[in-house]
Amino acid sequence: MAQSLAPESAPVQHWSFNGPLGHFDLAAVQRGYAVFAGVCAACHSVGAVHFSDLAGAGLSSEQIMALAATWKVPAGPDGQGQSTQRKGRPEDAFPVPYASPDAARAANNGAVPPDLSRVALVYPGGSNRILALLTGYGATDTHGRQGMHAAGFYNPYAIGHRTAMPPPLRDNAVVYADGTPATVAQEARDVTTFLAWVSSPHADSKRRLGVGVALYLCFLAILLVILKRRIWSHVAK
Ligand code: HEC
């Protein structure tokens, strides 16, 4: 039966950021940030990301300053050796929600919520499976079981069909600044887009460079053919 407990393969989605000519939908990245900040950040970090990186998602420096200040980051020990916190600044990395892995484990039935900085690259199945995982809790397994068990929550996209992560999303878990209705499906798509962007924030500029290089090489090739014909024109007759 172990065979049947391999994660189900996630339905293939259309993502704007896939393919050599793809690009990130920055409105979706920004909505996804809201979901991450409002929901996922209670348990997960994105430690490789600094607030200032959000400039790449279309935020102005004033917006980033204001956004950073809504986060609390560790500020080292005070005079009595107690750890203190201060408001975030643009140069800070996103903070870690737990003081230690032990604290994370204690709060999550023995599991440590992984850092999500690179999850869209390293998670087998990538964005399709993250989306499927986030929205895959509703179903019951072959025994009609649903919800919490000793080994975690039933989810066909998790290894062993069990995850220690409680279903994180619900309708209207966040209020979107752009007025988009915050359904579970929308939140899941947006936060997945955010995580994909976080995993490769420079993908768009690399793709643009790639297209530029390809065009340049085509131009060069045509030029060489013309030159070759000219040079050999009186010989090759
Ligand atoms: C209440 C805490 C909590 C919240 C909130 C939460 N997670 Fe998790 N998450 C966990 C834990 C714990 C795990 C590890 C699960 C395990 O090992 O079984 C996890 C694992 C994951 C994984 C890896 C899955 C795997 O199979 O290894 C992804 C991806 C993920 N979470 C994404 C998210 C996203 C996106 C959000 C916000 C929408 C979110 N999580 C909100 C606790 C949480």
pLDDT score of 21: 82
2-49+93-201 CATH fold: Cytochrome Bc1 Complex; Chain D, domain 2 (1.10.760)
User: Does residue 30 line the site of ligand 1, with CB under 6 A?
Assistant: no
Res 113 pLDDT > 90 = yes
Res 146 pLDDT > 60 = no
User: Does residue 126 line the site of ligand 1, with CB under 6 A?
Assistant: no
* Number of other residues whose CB lies within 10 A of the CB of residue 24: 22
Distance from the alpha carbon of residue 143 to the mean position of ligand 1, in angstroms: 24
Three-class secondary structure assignment of 174-230: CCCCCCCCCCHHHHHHHHHHHHHHHHCCCHHHHHHHHHHHHHHHHHHHHHHHHHHHH
pLDDT score of 143: 54
Distance from the alpha carbon of residue 75 to the mean position of ligand 1, in angstroms: 27
Three-class secondary structure assignment of 110-169: CCCCCCCCCHHHHCCCHHHHHHHHHHCCCCCCCCCCCCEECCEEECCCCHHHEECCCCCC
What is the C-alpha R_g of the chain? Answer: 24
Give the H/E segment covering residue 2: none
Mean pLDDT of 119-147: 81
Domains in the chain: boundaries: 2-49+93-201, 202-237
pLDDT score of 1: 44
Ligand 1, atom nearest to 195 Cα:
35
Mean pLDDT of the chain: 90
pLDDT score of 138: 67
Per-residue pLDDT band for 167 (boundaries 50, 70, 90) equals very high
pLDDT score of 140: 58
User: Does residue 130 line the site of ligand 1, with CB under 6 A?
Assistant: yes
Distance from the alpha carbon of residue 44 to the mean position of ligand 1, in angstroms: 7
**Of 180 and 78, which is predicted with more confidence?**
180
Q: Give residue-wise pLDDT tens across range 67-91.
A: 999 999 998 888 898 889 999 999 9
Distance from the alpha carbon of residue 113 to the mean position of ligand 1, in angstroms: 5
pLDDT score of 2: 47
Q: Give residue-wise pLDDT tens across range 94-110.
A: 999 998 999 999 999 89
Per-residue pLDDT band for 165 (boundaries 50, 70, 90) equals very high
Res 200 pLDDT > 90 = no
pLDDT score of 45: 96
pLDDT score of 89: 97
pLDDT score of 35: 98
